[in-house]
Structure 1
Amino acid sequence: MSLSPVARPSSLRDHAYAQMRDAIVSGRLEPGARLRDAELEAWLGVSRTPIREAIARLESAGLVRTRRAKATEVAPLDEREALAAERVAAALHELAVRDAVAQLTEADLDAMREANARFEVALAGQDVDGAVAADDAFHGVAVTASANPLLAALLDQVTPLLRRLERARFSSLAGRDSVHAHARILALCAAGDAEAAASATRENWLTLERLLTHSETTPRSTDPKDE
């Protein structure tokens, strides 16, 4: 494992989790990579305790697994699990928008417009990280405005799985045509049509499965035991 050291933050547990999660989702930590405490400590600059707590969260999220003899490794890329996560994420974002529309302010709508503009620029520039961040920011406005305290934590549980598959298979979000989908969601939100906006949001999040249907070479899993 060769990863550059990162700055030490205030919340060591959350920092360890976020850094490891992002490395797995981006593919810098590949499926099957062994996660050794000493190497993780050197990379993250934190002690074993926050690292083990982070690994427990990652295992719960399906990104890490512990095998025999307590060997911990990055979980295989499993299409079935990712698509299950996508359906959950779609339902959660649908709920967020349905509850948020009546609460959205002009500032919220402006934030969505700005995020979608950044998303379009990132796609045009093949900036995968920027596109993912902008996409999350766009949908995050409704999650915050919904004032549902459970949504963010639930989405944090399922979103990395589908983002990981999306990036591994397509290297970007370009196939989603989400710029236009975002614009439609925004217009419906601005019009106060909560049901239509929620439905459009759900459809936006369910595009990965349709993309994979047209990808004939996509394997079900990278786990050798499934071959």
Structure 2
Amino acid sequence: MPAVDRTLLRDDVYRRLRDAIVDCTFAPGEQLKDMELAEWLGVSRTPVREALLRLAGSGLVVAQPGRSTTVSAIDEKALRDARDVVAAMHHLAVFQTAGTLDEAQLDRMREANRRFADAVEAGDVAAALEADERLHSVPVAALGNRAVDTVLDQFGPVVRRAERLRFGHDGRASIELHDRLIALCAAGDKDGAAAVAFDTWHSLPVGHPGA
């Protein structure tokens, strides 16, 4: 990955490190050294240390003060807890916005699902994850609830890392779920749309020992 501008904000450092863990650039068990990460990103060590603390709060890294920081394994209980919370947040966002999304917002969801389907067919896991994120971000953005945004920012990456395993094997079932979600949102069926949103996230398997 290319070096980034030295004026990079700490949130950008956090996102770069978070994404590198989610896409397995940094593998579970790998040690993360703040000096090396700072050189890699072209920033000082301070924003890197702050980012590692945030990542520890999400459970993506395990920090041992004065010793080392390593990328965490995908722990079954931690994943289940994060999945349940993320599913609840998307349930809330969809319930509150179904029937209020305009045609442009619905079209963005449809286009994202088309890209998702193409990526799944091509076996492009990174593109599938990106398209999936775009689709589900529409009702979340429309809701505009900062508390929901904060929770998803913290625990969403934990779920996304495990989703790479699902999309790497077969993400076709999610295509149909997305279509149903969009149709129910367009019809203003709050209960139905919210239930599909919850099931989409809650269907993520958590039994990936050794992953």
For Structure 1 versus Structure 2, the TM-score category normalised by the shorter chain is: over 0.9
Q: Does 1:45 align with 2:42?
A: yes
In 2: Cα distance, 1:173 partner to 1:10 partner: 39
Instruction: Give the equivalent residue in structure 1 for 2:123.
Output: 126
Instruction: Give the equivalent residue in structure 2 for 1:204.
Output: 200
Q: Does 1:22 align with 2:26?
A: no
Q: Does 1:84 align with 2:88?
A: no
Relative distance call for 1:88 and 1:39 in structure 2 (3 A) is same
SS at match of 1:76: coil
Identity over the aligned pairs, expressed in percent? 44
Instruction: Give the equivalent residue in structure 1 for 2:155.
Output: 158
User: Which one-letter code corresponds to 2:42 in the other structure?
Assistant: G
User: Which one-letter code corresponds to 2:185 in the other structure?
Assistant: C
CA contact (8 A) 1:86 1:205 kept: yes
Relative distance call for 1:170 and 1:42 in structure 2 (3 A) is same
Unpaired segments of 5 or more residues in structure 2?
none
Q: Does 1:66 align with 2:60?
A: no
User: Which one-letter code corresponds to 2:26 in the other structure?
Assistant: L
Q: Does 1:188 align with 2:193?
A: no
Deviation at 1:173, TM superposition (A): 6.7
Relative distance call for 1:53 and 1:89 in structure 2 (3 A) is same
Relative distance call for 1:192 and 1:137 in structure 2 (3 A) is same
In 1: Cα distance, 2:75 partner to 2:40 partner: 27
Deviation at 1:93, TM superposition (A): 0.1
User: Which one-letter code corresponds to 1:76 in the other structure?
Assistant: A
Relative distance call for 1:106 and 1:25 in structure 2 (3 A) is same
Q: Does 1:56 align with 2:53?
A: yes
Instruction: Give the equivalent residue in structure 2 for 1:146.
Output: 143
Deviation at 1:171, TM superposition (A): 5.5
Deviation at 1:68, TM superposition (A): 5.8
In 2: Cα distance, 1:154 partner to 1:102 partner: 24
The range that moved more, 9-18 or 88-97, is 9-18
CA contact (8 A) 2:128 2:167 kept: no
Pairwise CA RMSD:
1.8
Which of 98, 107, 110 is the aligned partner of 1:110?
Answer: 107
User: Which one-letter code corresponds to 2:183 in the other structure?
Assistant: A
Normalising by structure 2, we get a TM-score of 0.93
Unpaired segments of 5 or more residues in structure 1?
223-227
